[in-house]
Amino acid sequence: MGTRKAVVLLSGGLDSATTLAIAGQGGFECFALTCLYGQRHDVEVEASRRIASAMEVAEHRVMTIDLAAFGGSALTDRGRMVPRAAIGLGPRAIPVTYVPARNTVFLSLALAWAEVLAAFDIFIGVHIADCGGYPDCRPAFIEAFEHVANLATAAAAEGRGIFRIRAPLLDMTKTQIIRKGIELGVDYSLTRSCYDPDEMGRSCGRCDSCVLRLGAFAELGLRDPIPYQNAHP
């Protein structure tokens, strides 16, 4: 028996870096897939390259999908402002930073590569504790996509394996995620989470994603090691 291969969706953010560390700890040979989908995320792609290199993945691929062409999200649509922190809208409110069908598109691409690699495990760093507003982060979605994966592919139809969509962060808070990552040696200085970085790649410190991240580091009594626009918020 060789090592089992896994495809890991790697955005360059804190969650996916931790997910990659968990997959590696689980003994998987990791193939990292970064999906570039809008104008705002170049910084995350650079981060993903640093993380993939530091964590010695078997291979790292960057795919470009022009989801911005469809519009409909503050994250891809230049005409829409990324809001300042709007956490507290309630557990079911869907933020304007929601990107239509994003995780479905990402998992589909991961599935395509996984099938070619004969990798039957696909890791995605979604979680609901802090982000319950995104429908495509919920357990029912993950289970439904796993069912699709096992119907959609020749690999499954021919009985070569059973696909598993693994979301190891699902029930963790941001604080728990960082604690776990530090335990596994993740270098969070390589990661980026900001929805609205400046041209130097410094995080804004004010969007939902920054506020969550900074709050979690603070809760752990740690300093977030990445650069922010205003010295340190």
**In the bound complex, what is the minimum distance in angstroms from residue 233's beta carbon to a second copy?**
29
Instruction: List the x/- string, 204-223, binding to a second copy by CB under 8 A.
Output: --------------------
Does residue number 98 form part of the binding site for a second copy (CB under 8 A)? yes
Q: For residue 53, how many C-alpha atoms fall within 13 Å in the half-sphere facing its CB?
A: 8
3-class secondary structure, 103: helix
Per-residue burial over 122-159, b if 16 or more Cβ lie within 10 Å, else e, is bbbbbbbebbbbbebbbeebbeebbeebbebbebbeee
Does residue number 226 form part of the binding site for a second copy (CB under 8 A)? no
Does residue number 161 form part of the binding site for a second copy (CB under 8 A)? no
**In the bound complex, what is the minimum distance in angstroms from residue 58's beta carbon to a second copy?**
14
Does residue number 91 form part of the binding site for a second copy (CB under 8 A)? no
**In the bound complex, what is the minimum distance in angstroms from residue 30's beta carbon to a second copy?**
16
**Which range in 46-54, 153-161, 179-187, 202-210 contacts a second copy by CB under 8 A?**
153-161
**In the bound complex, what is the minimum distance in angstroms from residue 120's beta carbon to a second copy?**
13
Give the residue, chosen from 45, 54, 63, 129, that forms a contact with a second copy under the rule CB under 8 A: 63
Pinpoint the alpha helices (H) of the chain: 14-25, 42-54, 102-117, 139-152, 154-157, 174-183, 208-219
Give the residue, chosen from 94, 162, 218, 222, that forms a contact with a second copy under the rule CB under 8 A: 94
**Which range in 47-55, 79-87, 140-148, 225-233 contacts a second copy by CB under 8 A?**
140-148
Give the residue, chosen from 26, 72, 161, 201, that forms a contact with a second copy under the rule CB under 8 A: 72
**Which range in 17-25, 40-48, 91-99, 199-207 contacts a second copy by CB under 8 A?**
91-99
How far is the C-alpha of 33 from the C-alpha of 227, rounded, in Å?
25
Does residue number 45 form part of the binding site for a second copy (CB under 8 A)? no
How far is the C-alpha of 50 from the C-alpha of 3, rounded, in Å?
24
**Contact predicate 137/33, CB 8 Å:** no
Q: What is the DSSP secondary-structure string of 167-182?
A: -TTTT--HHHHHHHHH
**Which range in 21-29, 148-156, 185-193, 202-210 contacts a second copy by CB under 8 A?**
148-156
How far is the C-alpha of 181 from the C-alpha of 196, rounded, in Å?
24
Q: Angle at which helices 174-183 and 14-25 pack, to 10 degrees?
A: 50
**Contact predicate 30/57, CB 8 Å:** yes
Q: Which two tokens stand for residue 158?
A: 């021919």
Does residue number 154 form part of the binding site for a second copy (CB under 8 A)? yes
Q: Which two tokens stand for residue 92?
A: 């079911």
Using CB under 8 A as the criterion, which residues of the chain lie in contact with a second copy when the complex forms?
61, 63-67, 69-72, 92, 94, 98-105, 107-109, 111-113, 115-116, 135-136, 138, 140-141, 144-145, 147-149, 151-158
